Chain A
Amino acid sequence: MDILKQLQTQAEQVEVVQMRNEAASAEFEANRFKTSKVEETSGVAVRIVRNGRLGFSASSDEKATDRLLANVLESAAFGDEIPLVFPAPKPTPRVKTFDTAISGLPVTRLVEIGQEIVDLILAVEPEARVNVGLQRGIEQVTVRNQAGTEVSFQRSPLSIGTEISRIEGDDVLILFDLVGATTWEEDYLAFARRLAEKLQLARKITDLRTAKMPVLFAPAGTLALILPLMEGVDGKNVFTGVSPLVGKVGEKLFDNKITFVDDGTLDGRFGSAPFDDEGVPHRRNVLVERGVLKSFLYDLKTAAQSGVESTGNGSRRLFNPPQPAPTNLILEAGDTPVAEIIAGIEEGLLVEDLLGLGQGNIISGAFSNPISLAFEIKKGEIVGRVKNVSIAGNVYDLLKDVTAVSRETLWVYNALRLPYILLPEMNVVAKG
């Protein structure tokens, strides 16, 4: 008997989510293709509201339905009373997230692409050690509930992680990149060319002095600035009062140049899908508009707790209940070309990547990180790589005054679209 129907006789509300995933991957270790893998995962997650109380359970064992049912009923016996309502059917947004050009990729083609990446890097840096992991998946999510919602969507994520290390004596240089999409991109090597460029730039090492100076964050480095915001707009942190943004909707908190958006409806992006994992349609959520805080991200539960509507940001993995999470996050482009920004810097730092992001008390906005890759800018030109440098500050102070946001943006870490951001002055600590 169908689990939904079976549970409906015992609970006011029922949600059954089926997840099925097939994936193929190829891994290059130290420039050599070495391992390939096929994965098949499937499972069922169930939530019920019984006597007003919410229960959750999940199982990857298709033969364990009885235990799944017993577990979810036991869970609901102790669950919290939350005014959560599973949604009625809504129109389906059109979002392209499935591409046979990806779903049909055989392992052998993944291996060829990986080899192209390795060759491209070794051509500029023969001493480099390149690890590449390529994975393509076919994901199928079906969400059904007692209110009549029955949505099903397919995604074909392709993601490529590349790690390059170059060791010379005790000097270790490590570059990392992760790119992903759900539709095929013709210029799939663009990121690798950028890595090769950085490797070339990184050959020359320069000495930086400890000083206050302008700091230009490259897109991946910009992550340091937006991680605290990601935590701050999370509906759960807002509801619990942990977020420093509580009660500040409508206030101007940042520079005019800052516009920050969550958008799960973009065709082909890694974080896109027509619906979230609770069957709520994805939409464009403007979080910060020209420096003014506009809204937060909610799933069904945190929305119910806060007395608002879900923003379509319910995200889950099989064995955990949904949580609010961003889909694709976009820091909108500015109007200055990056070349012009660099040309205007007399003495400054270009931060490509930091070490230890996400550590410490990030929700407060504070960060302090050593830099894993950064370049010195002098008289409008990049002059060399700096080592043993760290930067610190508080995002909520720093983003009040932004000198420039670049016209160019890049997709980094799969689902983040970020520009270059120039801050007028930061403390840069260099240890020789």
Chain B
Amino acid sequence: MKDRMRSALKTSKADYTEIRIEQREATNVVFRGANLETAGAVVDTGGIVRCLCRNNGWGIATFNSLDDLPARVKQAYECARVAHSDEPIELAPIPVSEERITVSLARDFRGISLAEKKALAEGYNSIVRTFSDKIIDTNTVYQDSFTHLFFASSDGTFIEEERPMITVVAAAIARDGDNVQTAHETHSGQRGFEFVQDCEQLARTAAQRAVELLSAEAVAGGQYPVVIDPVLAGVFVHEAFGHLSESDFVYENPKAREMMVLGRRFGQDLLTVFEDGSIPGLRGTHRYDDEGTPTRRNDLIRDGILVGRLHSRETAAKMGEQPTGNARAINYRHPPIVRMTNTAIEAGTTSFEEMIKGIKLGIYACDAYGGQTALENFSFSSGYAYMIRDGQIAEMVKDVILAGNLFTTLMNIDAIGNDFQWIHHAGGCGKGGQAPLPVAFGAPHVRIQDVVIGGK
């Protein structure tokens, strides 16, 4: 493959050319309620060529048939020639790498029968189903995928990499009359089959929460002090702040650059936010990004001050900064764009008990259903939540949706927990039509003052 890719690259007339080829095999087992929705494996092979002509633009060709790579290079080159750029498009230099990255999995899921994978999912599914007669439906998923990836660029880099991913999801849907509630738990990593065994507790947790939510009252809307758990804190920092750190948002936009100017105060001294695609064992981790740039730790907010952002080679060159290893693509159908890897709020010093102690009336919001941001404005649904009354966790409430302005909300963070953890959730990030990209979050508990909670 290396020789074929390199000889195809030699035919390119573009200023820069890269080829990425992926061979993926994936297994998917899905139960819904008593029914097996699907159990089977698929084979996906394909590639992408990306060409840059400095005075024109980018051209891309994607394909399934690997028969004629030079023809694909020519297609991409012709696409790149269509555009015209007044200012030449530059790429920041990166070291030339040549590496073969293999993984060794404790129990390699490629050698495990579909029967065993199905039995695992079936076991978790029956825990959820039989938890209570109020559980009317489930969605239990087992997924694995093993990608063999080849990357070669005209700079001379060649990387061959094995990328495994394994995931279990247990979702419970409970119903009482017209009241329908859902809860889900996930566990995912670049690991072997052993990683998703013994996850019975996860299935029980999902089922129990869905049933509990049936008797929860909808939260009364208003402004509250809110304590968010590490999961929601991680999702929040990813969605509301992380996306603004992606330089493709600011690099061609002077107004956005002003908004995200380095040195601006984003939070109180206690707030530090970082991104790190190089930590072993996390979902967003790879040694190189999809442009061949080595990944590393990048501080985004240090002691409340904006100190960094995430780059591809192009955005780094444009802004006169260093590439950070954040150009990522979900698969061969897409070019790499600036993305997060593993995003985290650094641990603070406050214990959970201290954090809630002084709150007369507030909300403890946990887990995230999802979130959306439009730059400064965000909206997040928590999976479940509790009222805080007189410094104590009180009754469960539902439909807790946090909304607000990023800048005021970050400034309103006034306590950060000492209980930092990385979250091994299956959550994926979506951007530019590319979803889900595996990412990880990390955070401790975080307290925010004056959060607007939607509700009745």
Query: Is the pair A129, B83 in contact by a Cβ cutoff of 8 Å?
Result: no
Q: In the complex, which residues of chain A have a beta carbon less than 8 angstroms from the beta carbon of B404?
A: 431
B-chain residues with CB within 8 Å of residue A431 when the two chains form the complex: 223, 404, 452
Q: A185 near B: Cβ within 8 Å? A: no
**A-B residue pairs in contact (CB < 8 Å), sample of 20:** A30-B252, A36-B80, A37-B60, A42-B64, A68-B43, A75-B39, A78-B36, A80-B36, A127-B255, A170-B376, A170-B405, A319-B44, A321-B38, A356-B372, A363-B180, A369-B454, A390-B454, A392-B455, A427-B456, A431-B404
With contact pairs A34-B83, A392-B221 given, residues A174 and B40 touching in the complex (Cβ less than 8 Å): no
How many residues on B have C-beta within 8 angstroms of the other chain's C-beta atoms?
A: 82
Contact B259 A170 (CB under 8 A): yes
- Interchain CA distance A302-B289 in the complex, whole Å: 42
| Set of chain A residues within 8 Å of B36, measured between Cβ atoms | 78-80
**Docked pose: A39 CA to B256 CA in angstroms:** 32
Bound CA–CA A427/B372 (angstroms): 22
- Residues in A whose Cβ lies below 8 Å from that of B59: 35-37
Bound: A172/B244 CA distance, A: 12
Instruction: Return B127 CB to nearest CB of chain A, in Å.
Output: 18
Cross-interface CB contact of B372 among A355, A396, A429, cutoff 8 Å:
A355
A133 contacts which chain B residues (CB < 8 A)?
433
B182 at the interface (CB under 8 A from A): yes
| CB interface residues, A 384-418, toward B, < 8 Å | 388, 390, 392, 396
Contact A60 B375 (CB under 8 A): no
Q: Is the CB of A242 within 8 A of B175?
A: yes
* Smallest CB gap from A355: residue in B: B379
Q: Do A79 and B82 touch (CB < 8 A)?
A: no
Question: Is A55 on the interface with B (CB-CB < 8 A)?
Answer: yes
Cβ-neighbour of B407 out of A170, A370, A372 (below 8 A): A170
Of B32, B79, B373, chain A has the most CB atoms within 10 Å of the CB of B79
Which A residues lie within 8 Å of B45 (CB)? 60-61, 64
Using CB atoms, name the residue of chain B closest to A42: B64
What size tier do the contact residues of chain A reach? Answer: 35 or more
Q: Check B82 against A72 for contact (C-beta < 8 Å).
A: no
A368 within 8 Å of B (CB atoms): yes
Query: What distance in Å separates the Cβ of B311 from its nearest Cβ neighbour in chain A?
Result: 16
Residues on B lying within 8 angstroms of A by beta carbon are 23, 26, 28, 32-33, 35-46, 57-65, 75-76, 79-80, 82-85, 114-115, 118, 136-137, 173, 175, 178-182, 218, 221, 223, 248, 252-253, 255-256, 259, 333, 335, 369-381, 398-399, 401, 403-405, 407, 433, 452, 454-456
A364 neighbours in B (Cβ, 8 Å): 178-181
Asked whether B114 lies within 8 Å of A75 as measured between CB atoms, the reply is yes
Across the two chains, which residue of chain A brings its CB closest to B60?
A: A37
Contact partner, B44, options A30, A60, A363, Cβ 8 Å: A60
The complex places the Cα of A355 from the Cα of B37 at a distance, in Å, of 32
- Whole-angstrom CA separation of A41 from B36 in the bound complex: 29
CA A64 to CA B44, docked complex, whole Å: 9
Contact across chains for A244 and B32 when beta carbons are under 8 A apart: no
Most interface-central of A37, A129, A358, A396 (chain B CB within 10 A): A37
Q: How far is the CA of A74 from the CA of B223 in the complex (A)?
A: 55
A residues 342-386 in Cβ contact with B at 8 Å: 355-361, 363-364, 366, 368-370, 372
* B64 near A32: Cβ-Cβ < 8 Å: no
A-B contact count (CB 8 A): 242
A240 in contact with B57 (CB, 8 Å): no
Task: Evaluate contact between A78 and B118: CB separation under 8 angstroms.
Answer: yes
State the 5 A-B residue pairs at the shortest beta-carbon distance, nearest first. A75-B40, A368-B454, A167-B255, A356-B379, A30-B252
Which A residues touch B456, using CB under 8 A?
392, 427
CB-based contact B454/A392 at 8 Å:
yes
Tell me which of B182, B375, B378, B399 contacts A368 (CB under 8 A). B399
Task: Report the bound CA distance from A37 to B433 in whole Å.
Answer: 14
Q: Are B377 and A172 in contact (CB under 8 A)?
A: yes
Instruction: Please tell me if the beta carbons of B57 and A242 are within 8 angstroms of each other in the complex.
Output: no
- As a 0/1 sequence over residues 34 to 72 of chain A, the CB contacts with chain B under 8 angstroms (1 = contact) are 111111111100000000000111111110100110011
* Bound: A136/B365 CA distance, A: 44
With contacts A60-B46, A61-B44 taken as known, whether A361 is within 8 angstroms of B79 at the C-beta atoms is no
Residues of B within 8 A of A242 (CB): 136-137, 173, 175, 180
